[in-house]
Structure 1
Amino acid sequence: MVSQVSAQLVLAAKTGPELPSIDDFLPDPILFQGTPFAINRIILIRIVATIVLLLVMCITAKRAKLVPGRWQGLIETLLEFVRDNIVYQVMGEERGRRYVPMITTLFFTIFAFNLCGVIPGMNMAATATVTMPLVFALWTFVQYWIAACREKGFFKYLRGELMPPGVPLPIDIILGPINLLEVLIIRPFSLTVRLFANMIAGHLLVATCLAFTQFYLIESPNWGIKPVGALWLLGGFAFVCFEMFVAALQAYVFAILSTVYINQSYPEVE
Structure 2
Amino acid sequence: MKGEFHSPNLDHEFFPGYVCHEPAGAESYHCSTGDHVNLFFSQFADGIFAIDRLMFVRILMTILLVLFFIFAMRKPQIVPKGLQNVGELCIDFVRIHIAEEILGKKEARRFMPVIATIFFLVLVGNLPSVIPMLNVSPNARVGMPLTLAILSYVVFIYAGAKKHGFFRFMKASVVIPGLPILLYPLVIVIEFFSTFVLRPVTLTIRLMANMLAGHLILVLLFAATNFFVWQLNAWTVLGGFTLVAATAFTLFELLVIFLQAYIFALLSAVYIELSLHADEH
* TM-score when normalising by structure 2: 0.85
Mapping 1:195-206, distance limit 5 Å: 195-206=207-218
Mapping 1:243-258, distance limit 5 Å: 243-258=253-268
Instruction: Say which is worse superposed, 186-195 or 63-72, in terms of deviation.
Output: 63-72
Partners of 2:82 and 2:217 lie apart in 1 by: 34
Contact 2:99 2:269 in 1 (8 A): yes
The alignment covers a number of residue pairs equal to 257
Partners of 2:257 and 2:91 lie apart in 1 by: 17
* Counterpart residue number, 1:18: 7
Following superposition, the deviation at residue 73 of structure 1 comes to: 2.5
Q: For structure 2, which runs of at least 5 residues remain unmatched after alignment? A: 17-37
Contact 1:31 1:40 in 2 (8 A): no
Instruction: Say which is worse superposed, 63-72 or 252-261, in terms of deviation.
Output: 63-72
Mapping 1:253-268, distance limit 5 Å: 253-267=263-277
Greater RCO, CA 8 A, separation 6+: 1
Following superposition, the deviation at residue 77 of structure 1 comes to: 1.7
Following superposition, the deviation at residue 20 of structure 1 comes to: 4.6
* Counterpart residue number, 1:30: 40
* Counterpart residue number, 1:236: 246
Instruction: Say which is worse superposed, 35-44 or 118-127, in terms of deviation.
Output: 35-44
Following superposition, the deviation at residue 75 of structure 1 comes to: 2.4
Partners of 2:41 and 2:280 lie apart in 1 by: 49
The partner residue of 1:189 within 201, 204, 210 is 201
Q: For structure 1, which runs of at least 5 residues remain unmatched after alignment? A: none
Seen in structure 2, the aligned counterparts of structure 1 residues 223 and 63 have a Cα distance that, compared at 3 Å, is same
Partners of 1:150 and 1:222 lie apart in 2 by: 66
Mapping 1:130-141, distance limit 5 Å: 130-141=142-153
Instruction: Say which is worse superposed, 38-47 or 146-155, in terms of deviation.
Output: 146-155
Partners of 2:134 and 2:101 lie apart in 1 by: 35
Please tell me whether residue 116 in structure 1 is matched to residue 116 in structure 2: no
* TM-score when normalising by structure 1: 0.88
Following superposition, the deviation at residue 22 of structure 1 comes to: 6.4
The partner residue of 2:88 within 70, 76, 83 is 76
Seen in structure 2, the aligned counterparts of structure 1 residues 37 and 265 have a Cα distance that, compared at 3 Å, is same
Following superposition, the deviation at residue 101 of structure 1 comes to: 1.0
Following superposition, the deviation at residue 38 of structure 1 comes to: 2.0
Percent of aligned pairs sharing the same letter: 33
Contact 2:73 2:87 in 1 (8 A): no
* Regions of 4+ moved over 4 Å: 20-23
Contact 1:162 1:172 in 2 (8 A): no
Following superposition, the deviation at residue 65 of structure 1 comes to: 2.9
**Equivalent residue letter for 1:241:** L
